[in-house]
Amino acid sequence: MFERPDFSDPAFAEHVWYFNAYKDAIVPHCRGRVLDIGAGHGYLSRAAAEQEAVTSVLATDRHYDERLAQKHPKLTIAKLETEALIQRNFGAFDTIVATEHIEHLPESLHAPLLEFIFGHLAPGGVFLGSMPEVVNSGNPFHLREYLAEEWRAVLGKYFANVELWFPCSLLYVWRAQ
């Protein structure tokens, strides 16, 4: 079970800096109906919901805990495993986001998840996300990490247009259409 972080802990301050790096790079690109996959307790989802161009946000994560959840009238959070998500049909989304999530999944789920994302984007929709730019982060929860160019090649199998940028040296962000 997750506990509320100790905001005075210097390790949390470093996490906040990293989170803000990808949040600030991704949220301005969110529009219309948004799906945030692996959203945790919805911090990025709430930031997206606060955007005028966003009409609604569906945030999914298996670790969802009502006590820690973010609230916003345009935000709905569903406690869903990624495996269950890709078996459902929520209709088309204008924006699909997966920040710091794919590296936590078994590699056998990467293709089915990308097929789900590709199949659930509305015409002109975008897939946004972030991942650490490291050879091996040492995070025991990361099952498969991709360097930026490796991930660009994977995304290129599904999307004609893939852009990568680096808001800091430790991570990269993508936009795929």
Whole-number percent of the chain with pLDDT over 70: 89
The average pLDDT across 90-108 equals 96
Dump pLDDT digits (tens) for 18-60: 788 888 999 999 999 999 999 987 889 999 999 999 999 999 9
**Which residues fall within 8 angstroms of residue 134, CB to CB, at 6 or more apart?**
145, 147, 170
Dump pLDDT digits (tens) for 110-140: 999 999 999 999 999 999 999 998 877 788 8
Q: Is 3 among the domain residues?
A: no
Q: Is 63 among the domain residues?
A: yes
SS (H, E, C) 62-76: CCCCCCCCCCCCCEE
Whole-model pTM over 0.85: yes
CATH of the domain at 21: 3.40.50.150
Q: Is 64 among the domain residues?
A: yes
Number of domains making up the chain: 1
Q: Is 24 among the domain residues?
A: yes
First to last CA, the chain: 36
Q: Is 4 among the domain residues?
A: no
Q: How many CB atoms lie within 10 A of CB 171?
A: 19
Give the range of the structural domain holding residue 49, as residue numbers without chain letter: 10-176
